[in-house]
Chains A and B, each alone.
Chain A
Amino acid sequence: MQNNKLENSQKIKQANGQKNRPKNLNLLTIKLPINALVSILHRATGCVLFLMLPVILLLLQWSLSSALHFETVIAILHSPFIKLMLLGLAWAFFHHFFAGIRHLAMDVHWMTTLMKARYTSKVVLVLGVIATLILAVKLWL
């Protein structure tokens, strides 16, 4: 069955020739497979975490410098809008963390077939959301 499909697609390719290949890609017509979704989110969250590094260092410095500064940092982190941002950052961290663990697992040849890789992609996405939800409960209750 799959062989047939492969042969068909090859035939179509040959029939069309190289000239008829699409010249530009409409991103909206591309449906990302779940592995690709996890992959691009791994990259995007990595960039977000990198951009937030100075903020994290600044908060660490303030919180350690004096009791007064510590209280200020706590107050800042408790404002509703910042809490929401914090939750977004936490999701970025969790997703990057779990997707990274998945990478490490695949590097030692664990869960490398397509079906298993799709399954672990789902696990990564779900774990990221669950960890974020737990933190959200902690933050708002």
Chain B
Amino acid sequence: MLIELLTKRYPGMRAWLTQRLSGLVMAIYCVIALIRFLVLQPNYYEAWVDFFQPWWWRLASLLFWMSLLIHAWLGMRDVFKDYVPNPNIRGVLVKLLVVVLWLYLAWATWLLLG
């Protein structure tokens, strides 16, 4: 059922579900990040680097950033749909948004895996 909703046949449902799932992933990541931060207390540079050292944390962080950018894409697209009535201007804004989000993803990937 859930998987079926993610197919191209239901674009509205897909957007809706993707927004929720990405939000859930980010919420879980944020809670774990807060707990890790409070436990490890990275107060100086080496500790801060160590905070991002474990491979599983890097992967989780990457997953977080991917979710964030998908979430931002759907959210900002809705905002543009609501407040930019001119389809030409909106088209440009949405294209710009896509480019910016891909750049952020490349940036985050480079930071976390590079």
Contact = CB atoms under 8 A, between A and B. Distances in A.
Contact of A97 (B27, B46, B52, B108): B27
B94 interface: no
B76 A63 contact: no
Contacts of A107: 20
Interface of chain A: mostly helix, strand, loop or mixed: helix
A50 B45 contact: no
A8 interface: no
A53 B65 CA distance: 10
A104 interface: yes
Contacts of A53: 68, 72, 104
A6 B57 CA distance: 56
B24 A104 contact: yes
Interface in B32-80: 44-46, 48-49, 52, 68, 72, 75-76, 79
A70 B45 contact: yes
A53 B68 CA distance: 10
A66 B46 CA distance: 9
A97 B52 CA distance: 23
Interface residues of A, number: 21
B1 interface: no
Interface in B62-108: 68, 72, 75-76, 79, 104, 107-108
Given A104-B23, A107-B20, A57 B48 contact: no
26 contacts: A43-B75, A46-B72, A46-B76, A46-B79, A47-B79, A50-B72, A53-B72, A54-B104, A57-B104, A57-B108, A60-B111, A61-B107, A63-B48, A64-B49, A67-B45, A67-B46, A70-B48, A71-B45, A97-B27, A97-B30, A101-B27, A103-B23, A104-B20, A104-B23, A104-B24, A104-B27
